[in-house]
């Protein structure tokens, strides 16, 4: 049967905040837009973002985009590109107002203006008093934004392909992306979507680690597609871990628990943070607490039958305090850890939360395919959100800047695509050989026989990533990790499905996701092994200092030959003076 | 007893509907599907389908956040989901 084909001006892969905000710009400009999402759009991971969006509106306290920029550059540990950061902080303001006009129900102050809350890492006056910069819609900001953008897209007649899995990008011999091969999950039928422009907005990849706070959908699909198209990923070694996730499950246990007097203990009941951070103890910075937990486990002082976690003790606190100040924690612990924290400590381990790295783009969301500092973008290909790296987070992301990133760069990519399609109104001819290659990759999963199961290899892979490329990063174990993940990549050829049907074959979808996770995992492990310094979220006990002389540069990883290259940080902003690197002190 | 192919596929379809934007719901709903769905009465199975149509924060508030649905019809189902073993 002939492969079904459909044509659009723009193809958007992913229906979180970035994809939907881009789609809305395009549909409002009467472009023919397709949005492909493997789950129903309002079930994208953006829905889990509770905190809010940073924008210097100055509704509560004096504020200024330049102060926001300073905080973001400092938070990035000076690895963020300062032109992109300036652009994001300036564009934050019209982006939030546009969302407001589109109907996002932001919480309000008594004077009717948008409510803004204080978050860590925000300051007035370049490091002065606490700022209040985060615009919120109660504790459901992500949901409110996603729902509004989805409704607006329906009004604007965006074409949604719900429950379609994007398998591979299709490119011609010049490397120009012509759309993607996607799979209808309900029927198993492939569909070729041709497009003049393609935007990847497929979100993060926390599922590469055994313990993650990310939803199951976050398997790095777009990042892996980019790698297979011969393009690089940037700064993938920078992965933010939250120190206290429920052990073996990953759900976040908020820092508020330790703020209210909860503390960590090892199998001997020792309050171990006293040795690692004698002053701040359990309230030390996230990376210090996370590394201390992993050290305890690695040195044999972990709890449980596998000695693979530590305990967060709260049962010395009054039950009324827990109920009043930590709502939700008790229920969550009972359901996911099987313990009532009023009676017993909660088993915890660091949980992978957010990836700063991704598909390298400029500040218009255009994909940058080379390590050349003055290199040009790849025409017609865009990326935005957590799958992308516009390099606004650098080595670490500030709270409230992740929703901002997806919304600003989704919007700007959309606006840029409108101009591109005006100048490039025709579809380019398909390269049939490339389509066959993509179809062949799908067809590989029809091979029957005995083999490794998807779930077994996934389990081995995620544990390997956690043990060798997670929080604790020293040379020998990371080198071993790269070799192990490469061996796991080889084992993929021996994986066989347990279901060969077409209708809702979740086994096949999970196999495609596993391929993606392994491709992305190698980019993380390889990039992390070679960055011999500690910066932001990348912490190397064997290289404990930040090394600006040698490492003030972005890592680029290509899949072919697991090759790395580097390019300079863009430290010159657009209109203001550069913020020179300083030691980060909070 | 062998489960008919059509019923298996219905469960696989529901399994994909249990893929949500929040990890807590992924884990809880899929465990509920595996452990309890087939034993539910047709009425509760219908309610489960209806529940999956609600926005993630609403399902979260019921199944994890300790709030009760306004609609009495869902209370029994939500109680069963809360009691699912995922620890």
Residue boundaries of the structural domains of chain B: 5-82
Euclidean distance between CA atoms A569 and A582, whole angstroms: 15
The architecture of the domain spanning A437-546 is Up-down Bundle (1.20)
Interface of B with A (CB under 8 A): 5, 9, 12-13, 15-16, 19-28, 55-57, 64-66, 82, 85-87
Please give the CATH topology (third level) of the domain spanning B5-82: DNA polymerase; domain 1 (1.10.150)
Q: Which two tokens stand for residue A17?
A: 């905040």
B71 CB neighbour count, 10 Å cutoff: 10
Model confidence, pTM:
0.96
A242-350 topology per CATH: Flavocytochrome C3; Chain A, domain 1 (3.90.700)
| Chain A residue numbers touching B5 (CB-CB < 8 A) | 501
Among partner residues A186, A214, A509, which is closest to B23 by beta-carbon distance? A214
Contact A186/B at CB under 8 A: yes
- Interchain contact A213–B (C-beta under 8 A): yes
On whether the CB atoms of residues A9 and A416 are closer than 8 A, the answer is no
Dihedral angle computed from the Cα positions of residues A33, A143, A337 and A309, in that order, rounded to the nearest 10 degrees: 70
**Span A86-124, pLDDT tens digits:** 999 999 999 999 999 999 999 999 999 999 999 888 999
Whole-angstrom distance, CA of residue A532 vs CA of residue B42: 59
Chain A environment of B24 (Cβ under 8 Å): 251, 332, 335-336
Chain A contact set for B55 (CB, 8 A): 42, 47, 143, 147
Catalytic amino acids of A? Answer: 286
Strand partners, A180: A169, A193
Smallest Cβ–Cβ distance between B13 and the set A47, A215, A504 belongs to A504
Facing B23 at nearest CB: one of A44, A250, A337 = A250
Q: Which residue of B has its CA nearest to A206?
A: B23
CB A384 within 8 Å of CB A18 = yes
Q: Where are the domains of chain A?
A: 242-350, 437-546
Tens of pLDDT along chain A (586 residues)?
A: 689 999 999 999 999 999 999 999 999 999 999 999 999 999 999 999 988 999 999 999 999 999 999 999 999 999 999 999 999 999 999 999 999 999 999 999 999 999 999 988 899 999 999 999 999 998 899 999 999 999 999 999 999 999 999 999 999 999 999 999 999 999 999 999 999 999 999 999 999 999 999 999 999 999 999 999 999 999 999 999 999 999 999 999 988 889 889 999 999 999 999 999 898 899 887 888 998 999 999 999 999 999 999 999 999 998 888 888 887 888 899 999 999 999 999 999 999 999 999 999 999 999 999 999 888 999 999 999 999 999 999 999 998 999 999 999 999 999 999 999 999 999 999 999 999 999 999 999 999 999 999 999 999 999 999 999 999 899 999 999 999 999 999 999 999 999 999 999 999 999 999 999 999 999 999 999 999 999 999 999 999 999 999 999 999 999 999 999 999 999 999 999 999 998 776 6
Contact residues on chain B for A213, CB-CB shorter than 8 A? 23
Q: Which residue has the tokens 């939030």?
A: A96
CB atoms within 10 A of CB A234: 25
User: Are A186 and B12 inside 8 Å of each other by CB?
Assistant: no
CA distance A89 to A573: 12
**Three-state DSSP class for A535?**
strand
Exposed/middle/buried for residue A492 (C-beta within 10 Å: 0-12, 13-18, 19+): middle
Name the closest residue on chain A to residue B66, using Cα atoms. A331
Q: For B65, which of A331, A336, A506 is closest by C-beta distance? A: A331
At A1 the pLDDT is 66
**What DSSP assignment string belongs to A314-374?**
-TTS-HHHHHHHSTTHHHHHHHHTS--TTTSPEEEEEEEEEE--BEEB-TTSBB--SS-TT
């Amino acid at each position: 049967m002939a492969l079904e084909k459909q044509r659009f001006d723009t193809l958007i892969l992913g229906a979180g905040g970035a994809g939907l905000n881009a789609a809305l710009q395009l549909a409002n400009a009467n472009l023919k837009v397709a949005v492909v999402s493997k789950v129903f759009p309002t079930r994208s991971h953006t829905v889990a973002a509770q905190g809010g969006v940073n924008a210097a509106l100055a509704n509560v306290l004096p504020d200024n985009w330049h102060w926001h920029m300073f905080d973001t550059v400092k938070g990035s540990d000076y690895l963020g590109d300062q032109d992109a950061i300036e652009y994001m902080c300036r564009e934050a303001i019209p982006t939030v107002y546009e969302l407001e006009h589109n109907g996002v129900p932001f919480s309000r102050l008594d004077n009717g203006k948008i409510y803004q809350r204080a978050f860590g890492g925000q300051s007035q006056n370049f490091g002065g008093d606490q700022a209040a910069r985060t615009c919120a819609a109660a504790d459901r900001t992500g949901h409110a934004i996603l729902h509004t953008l989805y409704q607006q897209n329906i009004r604007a007649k965006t074409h949604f392909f719900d429950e379609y899995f994007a398998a591979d990008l299709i490119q011609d011999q010049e490397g120009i992306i012509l759309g993607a091969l996607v799979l209808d999950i309900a029927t198993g039928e492939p569909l070729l979507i041709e497009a003049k422009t393609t935007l990847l907005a497929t979100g993060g990849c926390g599922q590469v680690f055994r313990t993650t706070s990310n939803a199951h959908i976050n398997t790095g699909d777009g990042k892996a597609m980019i790698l297979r198209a011969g393009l690089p990923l940037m700064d993938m070694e920078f992965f933010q871990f939250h120190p206290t996730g429920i052990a073996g499950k990953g759900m976040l246990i908020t820092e508020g628990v330790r703020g209210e007097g909860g503390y960590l203990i090892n199998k001997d009941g020792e309050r171990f943070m006293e040795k690692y951070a004698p002053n701040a103890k359990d309230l030390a910075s996230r990376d210090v607490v996370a590394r201390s937990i992993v050290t305890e486990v690695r040195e044999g002082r972990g709890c449980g039958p596998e000695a693979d976690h530590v305990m967060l003790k709260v049962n010395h606190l009054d039950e009324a305090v827990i109920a009043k100040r930590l709502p939700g924690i008790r229920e969550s612990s009972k359901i996911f850890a099987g313990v009532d924290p009023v009676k017993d400590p909660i088993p915890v381990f660091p949980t992978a939360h957010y990836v700063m790295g991704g598909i390298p783009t400029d500040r218009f969301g255009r994909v940058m395919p080379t390590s050349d500092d003055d290199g040009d973008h790849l025409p017609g290909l865009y990326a935005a959100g957590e799958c992308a790296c516009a390099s606004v987070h650098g080595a670490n992301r500030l709270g409230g800047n992740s929703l901002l990133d997806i919304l600003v760069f989704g919007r700007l990519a959309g606006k840029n695509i409108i101009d591109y399609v005006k100048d490039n109104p025709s579809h380019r001819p398909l390269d049939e050989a490339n389509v066959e290659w993509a179809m062949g990759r799908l067809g590989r999963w029809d091979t029957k026989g005995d083999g490794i199961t998807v779930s077994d290899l996934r389990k081995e892979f995620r544990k390997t990533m956690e043990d060798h490329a997670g929080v604790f990063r020293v040379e020998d174990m990371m080198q071993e990790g790269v070799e192990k993940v490469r061996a796991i990549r080889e084992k993929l050829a021996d994986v066989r499905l347990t279901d060969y049907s077409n209708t809702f074959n979740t086994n096949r979808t999970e196999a495609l996701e596993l391929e993606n996770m392994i491709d992305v995992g190698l980019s993380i492990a390889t990039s992390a092994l070679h960055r011999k310094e500690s910066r932001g979220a990348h912490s190397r006990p064997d290289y404990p200092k930040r090394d600006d002389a040698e490492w003030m540069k972005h890592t680029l990883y290509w899949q072919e030959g697991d090759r790395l290259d580097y390019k300079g940080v863009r430290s010159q902003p657009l209109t203001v003076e550069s913020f020179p690197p300083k030691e980060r002190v909070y | 007893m062998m489960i008919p192919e059509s019923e298996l596929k219905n469960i696989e379809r529901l399994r994909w509907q249990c893929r949500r934007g929040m990890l807590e719901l992924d884990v809880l709903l899929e465990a509920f599907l595996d452990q309890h769905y087939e034993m539910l009465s047709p009425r509760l199975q219908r309610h489960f389908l209806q529940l999956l149509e609600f926005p993630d924060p609403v399902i979260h508030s019921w199944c994890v956040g300790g709030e009760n649905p306004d609609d009495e019809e869902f209370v029994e189902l939500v109680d069963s989901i809360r009691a699912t073993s995922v620890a």
